[in-house]
Amino acid sequence: MIKYELASSSWDTKELDAIQNVLSQNRTTMGEFVEKYEHEFANFTGSKHCVMVNSGSSANLLATAALFYKKESPLKQGDEVIVPAVSWPTTYFPLYQYGLKLKFVDIDLYTLNYDIEQLEKSINDKTRMIVIVNLLGNPNKFDDIFKMIKDKNILVFEDNCESLGASFQEKQCGTWGIMGTYSSFFSHHISTMEGGMIVTDDEELYQILLCMRAHGWTRNLPKNNLITSPKSDNYFEESWRFILPGYNLRPIEMMGAIGSEQLKKLPDFLFHRRKNAQYFREKFENSSFFYMQKEIGISSWFGFSLILKSTINIERIELVNFLLKNGIEARPIVAGNFTKNEVLKYFNYEVFGNMKNAENIDKNGFFVGNHHYDISEKINYFHDVCTLFFEGK
């Protein structure tokens, strides 16, 4: 029996009623509910524009694609993009799929985000973009990063899929770069079944995203737009005019309707996640057995990561099996050190320096869940089980 799960549903009757409302109108494809949610999400993040798609993974794909079709200084195949060694695969796959060269840089053992010194050393004249991943809710040191690239023609793109609601210096994560992506998958801060969002203040990129989200046609563009010649008034022809090599990444109306309800609850969800984190830190911050993630700015605490200290002579799998035996779910820290994966044989990539910290968390790290409600009893139980395990060693 699971007593401390990785994730839990944040829905109640409000979300179910929202679904029924959409179904009663007999229109499930992308429409007014999605558009309403996009405006609400943009307002929440303080962005000019939001484009919803069918997943956070698709958000990364579409955002990457859009950068290739900017009129000025677009990305090109072979351009060098810096990425952290620890993230989810869909941070990297769109970059590979668009022919970019990935340069992997080690992370900081305590924050789990970029090792700032290594990042600075990795930047050179070939660097065209830095992908910033705010891991497990934790912001990066944006001030340091932007100082490094001052006066350089380097794009900053944020994969903020795990960090909705996090902020640094009173600015929302996901809004520091030219675009930022979010996920609303079941286990994330809000859930729309599946779902992803892209925010940007760049009008041209916004229009490219709208176009490429649905087949690359002009149908969703304003008459006078920044991508092509003005649209004609012939709706019949214009609705099937294709100008960019797009996709079908549209969300459905139910996802937009659910998103509106979830967004109303998000401040309360974040309050409980941060309160849970404060209690978790009280229990584990000075542990003899673990390192806990060090907060930068204001984290939205996706989950709680722990790394076994080098003084602990045990295999992680022993602890993980003991936790599962006692009803506690645990998983690796995101995808661990991604550079170890066989899929890299298809990539154009470089591993910059060594991956000592990424290797460490790959071997010794794991995380347990955080939730949108008070889980102090679960944290107490987890602490007791860990204590019991180490007392037996």
Please provide the DSSP assignment of 85-108 as one string.
SBS-HHHHHHHHHTTPEEEEE-B-
Token pair recorded at residue 287: 């542990």
What is the distance between the alpha carbons of residues 290 and 354, in angstroms, rounded to a whole number?
23
Token pair recorded at residue 204: 């041209």
Q: Provide the phi-psi class of 103: left if phi over 0, else alpha when psi is between -120 and 50, else beta.
A: beta
Q: Provide the phi-psi class of 283: left if phi over 0, else alpha when psi is between -120 and 50, else beta.
A: alpha
Tell me if 82 sits within 8 A of 122, measured CB to CB: yes
Residue position matching structure tokens 């995101």:
334
Query: Active-site positions?
Result: 188
What is the distance between the alpha carbons of residues 329 and 167, in angstroms, rounded to a whole number?
28
